[in-house]
C-alpha cells in the first residue's frame, strides 16, 4: 500500500457567480492551507487543466500567473508549475478580499433559493449569539 496522497483535484461550480480563474486560485490556496498541496508539488500544465475542466487555457494561465505573482507558485520553463516554498504574500488585503468573496458567494447562493441579505445577516447574528449551533 502506498503512502502517497491522492492527487489534488480541481472542481468548478459554474453556478456560484465566482469567476473560474478565482475558483482555481482559491482551490490552490485552500489546498496549500489544508496540506493537500505541499511545497514542490507539481500542478497540471495549463493545457491539461484546461482540457480536464473544459475551459479556455487563458483562464488557467491567468490563475497560475496571479498565484505566481502572489508567491504561491513558481514556474520552471520546460518542467512545469510547482507549489512555491515562499511565504504567500497578500496579508490583510488578501484576507479581506477572500472574506468579501466568501460573503458575496453566500449572498448569491442564498438569493438563488429565495433568501434576502437580511435573512443571511440574521442567521449570522444567531450564529454569533449561539456558538454551540456551529457544530
Task: Given CATH 1.10.10.10, say whether it is the number of domain 20-83.
Answer: yes
Q: What is the pLDDT of residue 131?
A: 60
Pairing of strands 80-83, 73-76: antiparallel
Domain ranges of the chain: 20-83, 91-134
Stated pTM of the model? 0.65
**For residue 65, is pLDDT > 90?**
yes
| Least confident residue range of 3-17, 79-93, 105-119 | 79-93
State the CB neighbour count (10 A cutoff) for residue 81: 22
Residues 16-62 have pLDDT tens digits of: 888 999 999 999 988 888 888 999 999 999 999 999 999 999 999 99
Reported in sequence order, the residue ranges of the chain that DSSP labels E, i.e. its strands, are: 42-43, 73-76, 80-83
> For residues 121 and 117, what is the distance between their CA atoms, to the nearest angstrom?
6
Q: How many CB atoms lie within 10 A of CB 104?
A: 13
Amino acid at each position: 500500500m502506498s503512502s502517497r496522497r491522492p492527487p489534488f483535484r480541481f472542481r468548478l461550480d459554474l453556478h456560484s457567480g465566482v469567476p473560474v480563474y478565482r475558483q482555481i486560485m482559491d482551490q490552490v490556496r485552500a489546498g496549500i492551507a489544508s496540506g493537500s498541496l505541499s511545497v514542490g508539488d507539481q500542478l497540471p500544465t495549463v493545457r491539461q487543466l484546461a482540457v480536464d475542466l473544459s475551459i479556455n487555457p487563458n483562464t488557467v494561465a491567468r490563475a497560475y500567473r496571479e498565484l505566481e505573482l502572489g508567491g504561491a507558485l513558481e514556474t520552471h520553463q520546460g518542467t512545469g508549475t510547482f507549489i512555491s516554498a515562499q511565504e504567500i504574500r497578500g496579508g490583510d488585503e488578501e484576507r479581506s478580499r477572500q472574506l468579501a468573496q466568501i460573503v458575496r458567494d453566500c449572498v448569491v447562493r442564498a438569493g438563488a433559493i429565495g433568501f434576502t441579505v437580511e435573512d443571511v445577516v440574521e442567521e449570522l447574528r444567531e450564529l454569533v449569539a449561539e456558538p454551540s449551533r456551529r457544530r
